[in-house]
Amino acid sequence: MQARTLWLRDHVPADAVVMSELPRADYLYSGRHSVALHGYSSEAALDDAIQQQGVDYIISGPGVLWTNNSVPVVTDEWKVVEPMIQALLRVGRLQVAYASDGQQVVVYQVVDGQ
């Protein structure tokens, strides 16, 4: 969590809109306006939400489902959303802005004009 929010705080404009599975935490620690990344049924629906909400960046990483041993795991929601993000990356709608060591967390920048 710390790597992604520190990177956002240090590299993303203060008025940027960030889409993530943890919008409240990302806002709290980065100070960037954040919107929820969940509930999308298709790549087109996700892309529409990106446009409608003015999203500038998307955070991709294991969703946090804290277990008794406090280890983040991939949530069922993330298994649905991640392929949509990868599809938008392949068509040039997104580009990688940051990848943590081991690529546990990737921040994508939205490419305008699509």
CATH of the domain at 76: 3.40.190
Q: Residue 69 carries which DSSP code?
A: T
The token duo for 56 is: 């500038």
Range of the domain at 77: 2-110
Question: How many distinct structural domains can be found in the chain?
Answer: 1
Model's pTM, two decimal places? 0.86
At residue 109, what are phi and psi to the nearest 5 degrees? Answer: -100, 135
List per-residue pLDDT tens for the chain, 114 residues long: 566 788 899 999 999 999 998 899 889 989 999 999 988 999 999 999 999 999 999 998 765 555 666 566 667 777 889 999 999 999 999 999 998 876 578 999 999 864
